[in-house]
Amino acid sequence: MKPTTLLPLTLGITACLVIFEARFASADKAPKNLKVLKTDTDKKVLEKSMKELSKGLGVKCIACHIKGKFDSDEVKAKDATRDFFTVAIGQADAAKKDAALKALLPALKLEAAKDAALVWNGLKLLESSKK
């Protein structure tokens, strides 16, 4: 093989390896700063439940998180969401769950959830994750 074709091939393979390593190294990191949920909560379950909750509430992730710093407590709504989780996860009494959701809404500057069924589905995913 000619040296002129070997260099681009080597650079291409190296770039692929670097991208692969960066993608999967971050994918293995466990969630941090979990105060209501178990620290061994599966990352995929957590992500899926958070997506369901954000869709159901009609908010984006930044309603409770700082992009790239999901473990930060700088956003005040995060504490209200933790209070909501504490009451609602695993709660069988629908009135108590509804009251917890109603208490959360002002912190998110919402009058109502966009789709409460998605909120409850997101919480159901987290039931085995509560401390």
Q: Report d(CA 48, CA 58) in Å as an integer.
A: 15
Q: Report d(CA 95, CA 104) in Å as an integer.
A: 14
Q: Report d(CA 15, CA 125) in Å as an integer.
A: 37
- Higher-pLDDT residue of 28 and 85 is 85
Lowest model confidence (mean pLDDT) among 37-41, 72-76, 112-116: 37-41
For the entire predicted model, the pTM comes to: 0.74
pLDDT of 40: 85
Identify whether the C-beta of residue 47 lies closer than 8 Å to the C-beta of residue 70: no
Measure the CA angle with vertex 118, ends 114 and 124; round to 5°.
145
